[in-house]
Amino acid sequence: MIPKPFGDTITKQDIDNLVANAVREGRTIEYKESGPGISDGDKKEFLADVSSFANASGGDILYGVPANRDADNRPTGLPDSPTGLTVNADEEKLRVESLLRDGIQPRIPAVRVEAVSGYPNGPVMVVRVAKSWAAPHMVVFKSSSRFFSRNSAGKYPMDVTEIRWAFGSSETLPEKIRAFRDGRLAKIIAGDTPVAMMARNLVVLHILPVMAFVAADKIDVTRVDASQLPPLYLPNRAAHGWDKRLNLDGLLTYTRSSEATCLYYTLLFRSGAIEAVDIVTLYAEAGAQKTVSLDYEPTITFILPKYLDLLRQLAVTPPVFLFLTMIGVKGYTMPVEARKFAPNDVIDRDILSLPEVVVDDFSRSPEVIMKPIFDAVWQSAGFRGSWNYDNQGKWAPRR
């Protein structure tokens, strides 16, 4: 596999380095002299190749890079000088993406197709496939129903035992993720947080990548730039800076309210999970009406892309489970100006655990990602949905 994070652009130099360094085909890389053909058999072969990477460890398929052969015309697995493909790059990319969309079920959430120019016949097409956490994926093109995986020798059809194991692993993952979130919430509610919080009325955002629960690799948090891990607040709030420190779990950023307590913290776990906690959203003066801050939805939509971009840079791939929890909110109202609240216009429980959403593309709009959760918060207080979206469901914050 080309040694670059999933989200980074692949260059001609990256491909030329494979030849110069004699990187052999194997579990995570394959070379193809020509592009995916137009016959049904060629299309099935292409879909089998891609799904085998997704069902195994992920990897790259390079079209326009021939594999070398020995004196007896046997493939060596080593790349020869890239020639490229005589194709229109944009049209070929659309064709390949259409095949992937219609020929594999369930859809593979993280596949990128890139055209790298600079070769004699045209671009080298790189199909980059992340290991999928929604596996196993089946080829369904033209009534096919086959599962494929990969080993060092290339792709192979999965047997019944492997298919059963893959489905079993996939089904237990959501429960593992929810159990982790529940365990973290139990600690937070008990006051067992990495820094002491000024109050116990808290908003907790969890971003939990599926790969954090199945991959053995850990993030070197000592190399993470803490400026990319801001606490959960808008820049126009009074506090603009934050402190940082390492702890046993990972990298922590936090903003103090005093020497002893904090207003916010964000924790990046070594696994890639993120926990962000905020008291300002639910802060209420003694005797005042308890109201969720008007800023809370703009704050989350502002910060969420920063967290997802950091995960992308750390080579943490989708999907991720996203959870929002409000603690200590019984009796709180939603921020509706110039309105007299009826008794039923309040949240009726102390812990508001909102239904999770699954993010399978880090480039998705945060307003689209968060809308089901924001609507559920307002519905918890008796409203039809968030007042920060218009009648067509488009983001229209009131300030």
305-345 pLDDT, tens digit per residue, is: 999 999 988 888 778 999 999 999 999 988 876 444 445 57
239 pLDDT more than 60: no
Clarify whether residues 151 and 193 are in a common domain.
no
Mean pLDDT, all residues of the chain: 88
Judge whether 365 lies within some domain.
yes
Clarify whether residues 339 and 368 are in a common domain.
yes
Judge whether 122 lies within some domain.
yes
261 pLDDT more than 50: yes
Strand partners, 146: 139
Clarify whether residues 243 and 332 are in a common domain.
yes
Confidence of residue 248 (pLDDT cuts 50, 70, 90): very high
Q: Percentage of the chain surpassing pLDDT 90?
A: 58
Report the side by side order of strands in the sheet with 111-116.
29-32, 59-63, 124-129, 111-116
The C-alpha atoms of residue 138 and residue 128 are separated, in whole angstroms, by: 18
Clarify whether residues 83 and 226 are in a common domain.
no
303 pLDDT more than 80: yes
201 pLDDT more than 90: yes
Clarify whether residues 135 and 222 are in a common domain.
no
Q: Which token pair is 123?
A: 């671009």
Clarify whether residues 153 and 210 are in a common domain.
no
Return the pLDDT at 260. Answer: 87
Domain finish residue from 158, 190, 209: 158
- Section 284-291 average pLDDT: 72
pLDDT digit string (tens) for 133-183?
Answer: 778 899 998 877 899 999 888 899 998 888 888 887 776 788 889 999 999
210 pLDDT more than 50: yes
Return the pLDDT at 23. Answer: 92
The C-alpha atoms of residue 79 and residue 246 are separated, in whole angstroms, by: 43
Clarify whether residues 138 and 251 are in a common domain.
no
Instruction: Write down the residue that tokens 């999928």 correspond to.
Output: 132
Judge whether 347 lies within some domain.
yes
Total structural domains within the chain: 2
Return the pLDDT at 117. Answer: 92
Judge whether 272 lies within some domain.
yes
Clarify whether residues 247 and 292 are in a common domain.
yes
Return the pLDDT at 39. Answer: 92
Clarify whether residues 330 and 243 are in a common domain.
yes
Range of the domain at 173: 167-380
Judge whether 390 lies within some domain.
no
Return the pLDDT at 118. Answer: 93
Judge whether 391 lies within some domain.
no
Highest mean predicted confidence (pLDDT) among 108-112, 138-142, 356-360, 375-379: 375-379
3-state SS, residue 209:
strand
What is the C-alpha end-to-end distance of the chain, expressed in Å?
A: 46
CA dihedral 307, 312, 317, 320 (to 10 degrees): 10
pLDDT digit string (tens) for 340-362?
Answer: 444 557 899 999 999 999 888 88
Higher pLDDT, 27 or 240: 27
Q: Are 65 and 18 in contact (CB under 8 A)?
A: yes
Clarify whether residues 357 and 216 are in a common domain.
yes
Q: Which token pair is 126?
A: 């790189």
- Count of residues in the chain: 399
- Section 48-63 average pLDDT: 92
Q: Are 225 and 304 in contact (CB under 8 A)?
A: no
- Helix, strand, coil distribution of the chain in percent, nearest 5: 30, 25, 45
Q: Which token pair is 329?
A: 């909110």
Clarify whether residues 115 and 137 are in a common domain.
yes
Judge whether 6 lies within some domain.
no
Q: Percentage of the chain surpassing pLDDT 70?
A: 93
Distances (CA, A) of 221 to 88, 229, 321: 42, 11, 21
> Comparing C-alpha atoms, which of 8, 27, 95, 25 is closest to residue 62?
25
Ranking 134-148, 201-215, 283-297, 300-314 by mean pLDDT, the lowest is 283-297
Domain CATH code at residue 134: 3.30.950.30
Judge whether 398 lies within some domain.
no
Return the pLDDT at 285. Answer: 65
The C-alpha atoms of residue 166 and residue 70 are separated, in whole angstroms, by: 37
The C-alpha atoms of residue 29 and residue 54 are separated, in whole angstroms, by: 12
Q: Are 129 and 59 in contact (CB under 8 A)?
A: yes
Distances (CA, A) of 391 to 207, 299, 325, 385, 395: 29, 22, 26, 10, 10
Return the pLDDT at 338. Answer: 46
The greatest distance separating any two alpha carbons of the chain, rounded to the nearest whole angstrom, comes to: 87
Clarify whether residues 307 and 206 are in a common domain.
yes
Domain finish residue from 158, 179, 205: 158
Domain finish residue from 127, 158, 189: 158
